[in-house]
Amino acid sequence: MSPKTKEQFEAARQKSIEKITDSAVKLFAEYGYLNVSINQIAKTAGVSQGLMYNYFNSKEALLLYIISSMMEEMGHLMMSFHAITDPFEKFEKIVRATFTLLKEKKEFYATIWPVITQQGVSQQLQEMLRHTFTSLIDVIEVMLKDMNIANPRLEAFRLGAMLDGAALGYLYVFKEEYPLDEMEQLIIQTYKK
């Protein structure tokens, strides 16, 4: 007699959004944004093609939403180390967290890297990524300074480069043959003392 309650509608919405974004993340990570069609996403999610457009204005808006969520999650992760006062402990935690993320949430990086290296994706996205990376460098710089490392900004860039380079080598080139754990250990020890 009465329409569905607001809660019911909201639950249905969230369920659908989740199905769509989950499928999209998996597919984007595996095949790359440009190689994945809306059709594929819909089929994988088990919904109709049109449904995506109830929640996202375009395929790119979907990508933007996904990457925003990831960036936000990454931000939260970084925040969670904020309270640690010992810079050496903080450093170790951050590096370990990065490698853990890399091992356990491959789709995280696998979604972002192709987008970064693909020209022709939205300006908005590019700017968001640049902003996030810059913030990260800033955070690392402060930390390295607290560790009395000389030339902390340049070292922050180097640390960033090592982490990114390791991620690329692991995800795209050497895969399971990449000495990920040894690299983790090596990086930590380099700065540790």
Q: Select 84 or 97, whichever has its Cβ closest to its own copies.
A: 97
Residue 151 Cβ vs DNA, minimum distance, rounded to whole Å: 45
Q: Single out the segment in contact with its own copies by CB under 8 A; choices: 11-19, 32-40, 56-64, 73-81.
A: 32-40
- Residue 181 burial (CB < 10 Å; 0-12/13-18/19+)? exposed
How many Cα atoms within 13 Å fall on the side-chain side of residue 74?
Answer: 22
Q: Single out the segment in contact with DNA by CB under 7 A; choices: 9-17, 107-115, 129-137, 146-154.
A: 9-17
Cα angle: 103, vertex 156, 165; to 5 degrees: 40
AA identity, residue 20: I
In the region spanning residues 37 to 66, those forming contacts with DNA, defined by CB under 7 A, are 37-40, 47-51, 53-54, 57-60
Residue 153 makes contact with its own copies by CB under 8 A: yes
- Residue 187 burial (CB < 10 Å; 0-12/13-18/19+)? buried
DSSP E strands: which ranges in the chain?
none
Residue 118 makes contact with DNA by CB under 7 A: no
Query: 133-163 burial string, b = 16+ CB within 10 Å, else e?
Result: eeebeebbbebbbebebeebeebbeebeeeb
Residue 51 Cβ vs its own copies, minimum distance, rounded to whole Å: 10
Neighbours of 86 (CB within 10 A): 11
Member of 71, 78, 128, 129 binding its own copies (CB under 8 A) = 129
Which residues lie near its own copies (CB under 8 A)?
Answer: 30-32, 34-35, 110, 113-114, 116-120, 129-130, 133-134, 151, 153-155, 157-158, 160-166, 168-169, 171-174, 178-179, 182-183, 186-187
Which residues lie near DNA (CB under 7 A)?
Answer: 1-4, 8-9, 12-13, 15-16, 35-40, 47-51, 53-54, 57-60
